[in-house]
Structure 1
Amino acid sequence: MNSGSDDKVTPLRPKRPCPECGKPSARETYPFCSVRCKDIDLNRWLKGAYIIPGRDNEDETDNDPPK
C-alpha cells in the first residue's frame, strides 16, 4: 500500500506554539501543548478574564428616534 518512503503526509493544521507557554502544540490538545495549558485557558474563559467588547451605550442611543 505504501508507494514509497519519500511520500510525506501534509498535516491538516500547521504547527503552532502553545498560546499559554510557547511550547510546541500536541495533536491531542491542539492548539495547546498539554491538558494543563488547556485547562488554564478554559479557567480564564469561565472566570471572565477574556472579554469580547460590545457596543457602547452611546451608539445605541444615537439610533433612537427623537422624543
Structure 2
Amino acid sequence: MTQVKCPICDKPMNFQARSEWPDFPFCSLRCKRIDLGRWFGERYKLQGHDYPEDFHEENEGE
C-alpha cells in the first residue's frame, strides 16, 4: 500500500494502484484546480538562468 499526502490540503491518501486516485498527486479535482490556479496566478515560478546584462547583445547575430 502506498501512502502519500495531497500537496494542497495535506489529506492522507492510501492506495494500492494509482488508478484508485485519478487526480493523483492530488486528492480531488478541487485540489488539482487550486494548484492550476496557483500556476496561472504566478504563485509558483521556475527559476531561470541569470545571464550577463550584455548576453543578448553579444548573441544577436547568431
Q: CA RMSD in A?
A: 2.5
Task: Could you list the structure 1 runs, at least 4 aligned residues long, displaced by more than 4 angstroms after superposition.
Answer: none
Structure 2's unaligned 5+ residue stretches are: 14-19
In structure 2, the residue matched to 1:38 is 32
Structure 1's unaligned 5+ residue stretches are: 1-10
Aligned length: 51
Deviation at 1:29, TM superposition (A): 1.1
Letter of the aligned partner of 1:57 in structure 2?
Y
Please, what TM-score do these two structures have when normalized by structure 1?
A: 0.58
Please, what TM-score do these two structures have when normalized by structure 2?
A: 0.62
Deviation at 1:22, TM superposition (A): 0.8
Higher strand share: 2
